[in-house]
Copies of this chain bind each other. A is one copy, B any other.
Amino acid sequence: MKEKATSFDIAYMAGVSQSTVSRALRDSPQVNKETREKVQAIARQLNYKVDKNASNLRKQRSSTLALLLFEDPTTDESLINPFFLSMLGSITRACAKSGQDLLVSFQQLSDDWHADYEDSKKADGIILLGYGDYVDYEEKLAKLLAQQTHFVCWGADVLGHPEFTIRSNNWQGGYLAGEHLINTGHRNFAFIGNASEGSPEFSARYQGFIDALVKAGIDATQIPHFDAISTESAGDLATEQLLVSKQAVDAIFCASDLIAIGVIRCLKRRGIRVPEEIAVMGFDDIPAASFASPGLSTIQQDTSKAGELLVNNLLKLINNQPITDTLIEPKLVIRQSCGAAVGDSDAN
């Protein structure tokens, strides 16, 4: 029993041809019920499993999706952004649900990954996940496009192919954040996070935020803005800069929860009370947001839906089906870091 059984072994035992075994195992309706059951029984008994390599080779299909996670090279080697970790979880679940296997790989932006997975037939398509400066991506995405690789990505713009991108309605999220900060009685705002063109997601959050302020009649031309990549320490550092600048601020909207946690840490260290003196609002709703003290009010991105959309849309791409749904609506999550609402209402 050391040797694995093949479909020929089963055919021999069942007294049928190997092609019939193959059909029976795939529940083909053109196989006699009796024959099918006999074959399947023997297969079970022999603990037979179809050789994926052989069947993939023959079918020219792998039923496998590849997930490429880009790490911001600036962050700590060992830490993965918790938001992506949670995406990973939902993608894995979505794959299982659609009968796909999932190949996972981390990549530095510098790696030469383009066109590896699908070209080597290891996967039928690729899911790209990554924060950071999207400008660096463009070249790689263009190559994938040129090679007609099937792929979808989170957040990043694919020129000429908006349907390849799945993302949260970041503008809407920023808007909700602005509203909440206003509803909790704040008037002097700051924004922490990169809002350059290299960070389209953060920019959209910023814009939504500003638009909410403007809508409320606040002069948004003077909002202090400090850059930070999505890490605790960047948020901490940016807050130091903000404090040094001596601007009157009673509320900070952060482009991500990780930044917000760093902001809170800095504020606490400086003896500034959150939310009494300065309110802090995050974005993402990572698990740590609820562990933070005070609990971080934030904008939740529905990672579970995101994972499903990523997987399902990629599958549609592979099967030449049209893609329609690519936007995910964010949700306001109110905890303690922005203080009590004065006439606030939960979105949705």
Contact = CB atoms under 8 A, between A and B. Distances in A.
Interface stretch (A47-55, A127-135, A206-214): A47-55
A74 to B, nearest CB: 17
A72 B288 CA distance: 20
Given A52-B121, A53-B62, A103-B101, A115 B287 contact: no
A77 to B, nearest CB: 8
A88 interface: yes
Copies per assembly: 2
A234 to B, nearest CB: 15
A12 to B, nearest CB: 19
A86 B80 CA distance: 8
A265 B348 CA distance: 28
Contact of A89 (B53, B78, B93, B303): B78
A249 B64 CA distance: 53
A81 to B, nearest CB: 10
Interface string A284-325: 000110011100000000011000000000000000000000
Given A49-B120, A53-B62, A106 B85 contact: no
A32 interface: no
Contact of A304 (B56, B78, B93): B78
A286 to B, nearest CB: 10
A78 to B, nearest CB: 6
A293 B261 CA distance: 11
Contacts of A49: 115-116, 119-121
A82 interface: yes
A106 B93 contact: yes
Nearest to A115: B47
Contacts of A291: 232, 261, 288, 291-292
B52 A120 contact: yes
Contacts of A337: none
Contacts of A292: 291, 293
A102 interface: yes
A268 B291 CA distance: 12
Interface in A36-50: 47-50
Nearest to A107: B96
B115 A105 contact: no
Nearest to A78: B304
A2 interface: yes
Nearest to A2: B148
Contacts of A105: 92, 96, 101-102
A85 B263 CA distance: 25
19 contacts: A47-B115, A49-B116, A49-B120, A51-B57, A53-B122, A78-B86, A78-B89, A78-B303, A80-B85, A80-B86, A82-B287, A85-B85, A85-B88, A96-B106, A101-B103, A102-B105, A104-B104, A288-B288, A292-B293
